[in-house]
Each structure stands twice: as structure tokens, then as C-alpha cells.
Amino acid sequence: EDTFSFKYSPGKLRGNQYKSMMSKEELEEEQRVQREQLAAIFRLMKEKSDTFGEMSEGDMKEQLRLYDI
């Protein structure tokens, strides 16, 4: 009886559970979309530096590591 449960777990574990449920193609597509979204967010933050402050790409990557992205 292997039923998958979305019980509370830290984000990293939950992310790994999702990844194990995806096919290789789905995972590649997910990563492509994620890269596009992050690039769009970074562009917006650069354009609106008066709102978000100055942030380098390195700063952004460091922040994203905190969320296992």
C-alpha cells in the first residue's frame, strides 16, 4: 500500500517528493519554466531598484539557496 501523502514536511523534502513523481521531461520543463520566471523576477528587480534596492545576481542566487531553488 504505497499511497502518497502531502503531510507537512520541510520544503526541501516536499520538493524532492514532487521531483520523484515527475518524468524526466516534466522535470526538464519545470526547470526551464523556473529559469524563465527567475530571469523575469531579476529583470523586474533591476528595473525597480528604487523599490527593491540594489541586488546583484550573486545576491539573488544566495537568497534563492535559502529556499532550495
31 within domain boundaries: yes
Give pLDDT < 50 ranges for the chain. 1
46 within domain boundaries: yes
**What pLDDT, on the 0 to 100 scale, is given for residue 46?**
85
29 within domain boundaries: yes
7 within domain boundaries: no
30 within domain boundaries: yes
pTM: predicted TM-score of the whole model, two decimal places: 0.57
User: What total of structural domains would you count in the chain?
Assistant: 1
Kindly tell me the burial class for residue 24, based on how many C-beta atoms sit within 10 Å of its own C-beta (0-12, 13-18, 19 or more). exposed
Residues in contact with 46: Cβ distance below 8 Å, sequence separation at least 6, in sequence order: 55
4 within domain boundaries: no
**What pLDDT, on the 0 to 100 scale, is given for residue 29?**
92
Owning domain of residue 31: 24-66
Residue with cell 550573486: 58
**What pLDDT, on the 0 to 100 scale, is given for residue 56?**
79
**What pLDDT, on the 0 to 100 scale, is given for residue 32?**
92
Strand, helix or coil at 19? Answer: helix
Residue 3 vs residues 6, 7, 22: alpha-carbon distances, Å = 10, 12, 16
51 within domain boundaries: yes
